[in-house]
Chains A and B, each alone.
Chain A
Amino acid sequence: GQQVMQIPQYQHVQEGEDFTTYCNSSTTLSNIQWYKQRPGGHPVFLIQLVKSGEVKKQKRLTFQFGEAKKNSSLHITATQTTDVGTYFCAGPTGKTSYDKVIFGPGTSLSVIP
Chain B
Amino acid sequence: KAGVTQTPRYLIKTRGQQVTLSCSPISGHRSVSWYQQTPGQGLQFLFEYFSETQRNKGNFPGRFSGRQFSNSRSEMNVSTLELGDSALYLCASSLWATNTGELFFGEGSRLTVL
Q: Chain A residues in contact with chain B, CB under 8 A?
A: 30-31, 33, 35, 41-45, 48, 88, 90, 92-94, 97-106
Contact = CB atoms under 8 A, between A and B. Distances in A.
Contacts of B58: 100
Contact of A45 (B56, B103, B107): B103
B42 A104 contact: yes
A100 B108 contact: no
A103 B45 CA distance: 8
A44 B92 CA distance: 10
B90 A42 contact: yes
Nearest to A43: B105
A93 B55 CA distance: 13
A105 B43 CA distance: 7
A22 to B, nearest CB: 16
- Sort A-B residue pairs by CB-CB distance and give the 6 closest, nearest first: A92-B99, A97-B97, A103-B43, A105-B42, A100-B56, A42-B105
Which of A41, A44, A99, A106 is packed against the most chain B CB atoms within 10 Å?
A: A99
B57 to A, nearest CB: 8
A45 B102 CA distance: 6
Which of B35, B56, B98, B99 is packed against the most chain A CB atoms within 10 Å?
A: B99
Contacts of B97: 97-98
Which of A88, A98, A104, A105 is packed against the most chain B CB atoms within 10 Å?
A: A98
Contacts of B104: 45
A21 B105 CA distance: 22
Which of B43, B58, B105 is packed against the most chain A CB atoms within 10 Å?
A: B43
Contacts of B43: 43, 88, 90, 103, 106
A102 B92 CA distance: 13
Given A42-B108, A43-B43, A97-B96, 5 more contacts: A48-B102, A99-B99, A100-B33, A101-B33, A103-B45
17 contacts: A31-B99, A42-B90, A42-B105, A88-B42, A94-B99, A97-B55, A97-B100, A98-B97, A100-B33, A100-B48, A101-B45, A101-B103, A103-B35, A103-B42, A103-B45, A104-B42, A105-B41
A42 B107 contact: yes
